[in-house]
Chains A and B, each alone.
Chain A
Amino acid sequence: MSGGESPGKEKHARAVGARVPVALWIPATLALALVTLPVIGLLLRTDFARLPALLTSEASLHALRLSLLTAAISTVLCVLLGVPLAIVLARSRVRGVRVLRAVVLLPLVLPPVVGGLALLYLLGRTGFLGYLIDVTTGVRVPFTTAAVVIAQTFVAMPFLVVSVEGAVRAAGDDFESVAATLGARPWTVFTRVTCPLLLPALASGVVLSFARALGEFGATITFAGSLQGVTRTLPLEVYAQAEADVDSAVALSLLLIVIAIAVIVLARPRAVEGVRG
């Protein structure tokens, strides 16, 4: 994919014929340094001899397993809830949908800690929904693995919604109208036309939400706490180890960076298009 990407970009640059002013190179280099140097710093600090042992310690493995599990479940929830929401937001002509759209994007700009706190006061024992659930079913949501999933879904869903909604808007509704006149019922239109058309945007949305869920920290620690094996995901483990065993924290950070790079390589070209569209 990256092989097919570069010739297109070169052609584009030539077509525009714009030369980059020299003055832009200085801040551009600084920006690049700001992004790359910390990673290099982390690499230099890594104790590569102890790396395998640090990554396979019981706490690390717990955190890794928990992170992958919760992020996967959150991503599935994002898809199941986010795709219908994106379609409604893009298509509905009901008044107030614009306001709704802004609300949905809130977790994107909100500090995750605030999100976590809000979830705690909704689903905590004193929160109105939390109290209701506690009284009726005896279930307490906060500080459980389920709370981790809820926190991750909360912060990650906007990525999926934005990506898919953009694609729905860009596609317009002619594709669906044609299908209807050709004999397709609404559900058939959805499965045979809408879904396949949205697949590329959905793929990039999935990768982005998964990455966001995997990296979730603020909402998780506030709403779910940091209990090893239950709610302490990789980022929380990094935070916990930063005090206790710096080498371990660095090793886990490296792992998260590797995963992040994999995500970028996997999804970047489509993801950027999706968000823009």
Chain B
Amino acid sequence: MAEIVLDKVSKRYPDGVLAVSELDVSVADGEFVVLLGPPGCGKSTVLHLVAGLESISSGELRIDGVRVNEQPPWQRDLAMVFEGYALYPHLSVRENIAFPLRLAKLPDATVRARVGEVAERLDLTEQLDRRPAMLSGGQRQRVAIGRAIVRNAKALLMDEPMANLDSKLRTQLRSSVAELQRDLGITTLYVTHDQAEAMALAHRVVVLRDGAVQQTGTPRQLRETCGE
């Protein structure tokens, strides 16, 4: 588990667009922080910067106090869930979840056991031998989450993981995501444009606008300021 700190982090694209501007955000060990903002406010870019998929233009990103700006994504030991899930269509659910463990070259028995545990926790045991194409939207999302949490990464990054689900399912899944995060105690940075979702999930919400922090606080604090 880990603490993530963004210290005056900026991202300027080669075409001059400033996507993220001197952002200060910290996620404490085991904390669930939601980045909330309208489309195009730079929240997904922040996740990409943390994951190492895009380079930081200025400022410092620290994981457990160590600067990781220059570290490539495969060394950061973070796990990311993408909006479209990006499950590997050529692999079964079992092998999708096992993917990071196979990369780490863990022995077969360990892989089986870990995948079995995760599948049971996410209620995917029946689906293990299916291909992603045969699953429902909710099941796909759970596979994506399973693949991310299976290797006990330092932190979990989630980019609009509910965006592709219908609203009824979204509401249902909020509680299970919150529960999972609590059980695992995993540091989580979660991106959404859905205010209700942010309020339901977060320990702390960071409201982003035009690549900068507009407001930050616990859901209760935000409700109080908005309520008046």
Contacts and interface: CB of A to CB of B under 8 A. Distances in A.
Given A181-B73, A183-B104, A197-B89, 9 more contacts: A174-B82, A177-B86, A180-B72, A181-B51, A181-B52, A183-B100, A184-B103, A185-B74, A199-B90
A178 B100 CA distance: 10
A188 to B, nearest CB: 7
B100 A193 contact: no
Contact of B88 (A177, A183, A193): A193
Among A174, A180, A182, A196, the most chain B Cβ lie within 10 Å of the Cβ of A182
A179 interface: yes
Interface of B: 51-53, 72-74, 76-80, 82, 84, 86, 88-90, 99-100, 103-104, 147-148, 151, 157
Mostly, the A contact residues are: helix
Nearest 8 pairs between A and B by C-beta? Answer: A174-B86, A182-B100, A180-B73, A181-B80, A178-B86, A196-B90, A183-B103, A175-B86
Contacts of A175: 86, 88
Interface range on chain A (Cβ under 8 Å from partner): 10 to 19
A184 B90 CA distance: 17
Interface of A: 172, 174-175, 177-185, 188, 192-193, 196-197, 199
Contact of B77 (A172, A180, A183, A199): A183
A178 to B, nearest CB: 5
Nearest to A195: B90
A181 B151 contact: no
12 contacts: A172-B84, A174-B84, A174-B86, A178-B80, A180-B51, A180-B53, A182-B100, A182-B103, A182-B148, A182-B151, A184-B74, A188-B103
A155 B153 CA distance: 49
Contacts of B89: 197
Contacts of B72: 180, 185
A149 B89 CA distance: 36
Nearest to A188: B103
Contacts of B84: 172, 174
Contacts of B148: 182
Nearest to A185: B74
A194 to B, nearest CB: 11
